[in-house]
Structure 1
Amino acid sequence: MNAIECQNLTKSYDHKKTFVIKDFSLDVKKGEVFGLLGPNGAGKTTSISMMCGLLSPTSGKLLVSGLNYGDNRSAIQKKIGVVPQEYALYPTLTAYENLSFFGSLYNLKGNDLKSRIELGLEKVNLLDYKNRPIKDFSGGMKRRINLLTGILHQPEILFLDEPTVGVDIQSKEVIISILNDLNQKGTTIVYTSHHLNEAENFCTQIAIIDKGKILAEGSPENLIHQVEGAQNLEEVLLELTGNQIRNDA
């Protein structure tokens, strides 16, 4: 069964003069770790934003767990978790208060919410910091709390936009370990990153996109084999998208 189906999605602005995403079609199978890779401005964040309902496609068909957003937005949002690239945290609230607030958005409460928060904080080695305000946390600590806000409700599908950007290697290892554990338990993961070595080891399936279009799709091993002489995903991406510096955000 497919967790996500995208058929000929487009997203345009400026009264359809500028296409950010065009003819975007892919299937994400249930249980996969699916990576969307590409240079700056390729359309990765826009694609994920449409899949998790933050943006509406201009045209095309999008199904999440077999449901469309038009008729099933509330049901879909209960099934998914979203971890954005920017910290989605309240800096003056404590770690526990932030997690309690985000957990309540998914109707978690009482002892169930408390136990999930404390177990999560223990997993990311921050239980002793639960009563400290987020503004006092390091980047790696914030990134770990940011992850917890998106997984407290144990989503069926988890969307991650650069989940390890700007963190130390220890925090990165903890984050990837938690994500692998979630995936082993059945969570489908859709992920973007500029860390191509990380993606090569983490993802089971990858789509390389640029200028809003999918250029290649397959397992990391198959993508590497498709490009003559390529030894890793970095060389594959450079071959497909070029080595010109991008100034897009």
Structure 2
Amino acid sequence: MPVSDLSPSAQDYLKLIWSATEWSATQMTVGAMAERLGVMPSTVSDGVKKLVRQGLVAHAPYGSIGLTDEGREHAVAMVRRHRLLETFLVQMLGYGWDEVHDEAEVLEHAVSDKLIERIDQKLGYPRRDPHGDPIPTADGQPHLPAATRLSAADTGRTVAITRISDADPEMLRYFTELGLAPDTKLSVREHRPYADVTTIRLQGRDRDIDLGASASGAIWVVAD
């Protein structure tokens, strides 16, 4: 079954289940999915049962939800669509990186596989989207960098930002004001866990920046 034959809600469910475990070991549950999607748990439960019948997910009652091989294939295809569309909107249409998530959420259900491949070609086969999330290849292979959250990065080291969560547009605008984006280089000056503060300094700057727990937890870095 092509991913385009699935309903938009089924596509959303599969993409969410896969994305939830991309950068962490968090397992997806019915309750967590309902919270993320803004719907009732009973709605998610019914949708998951349908996906189980289609052989796309595995779910024990009250347990975590996992993808079958076919489900994973469809989920990665949807992630690829979403991230290529975000990249297209920023690079070709001039959208801000804080604007593209919701637009891509709508468009990803309507575009054809042929259009996605044309977009990929037009963009020069990008490896990541504007937030640093890796774009899976056409054959469904993700390529996750060996990154760690800034909140857990070793102090005294120079690192480069590789990914910033796009979950909160307001936070993205805040990061823009601070000059934080993928490929920005910075040094980790200090972690103050009892104050939930991480102090950083951008390369070439002469002042420190204090980030709260939610901000430093939304940034992934790699050793420079």
TM range (shorter): under 0.3
> Which structure has greater strand proportion?
1
- Ranked by relative contact order (alpha carbons within 8 Å, sequence separation 6 or more), the top structure is 1
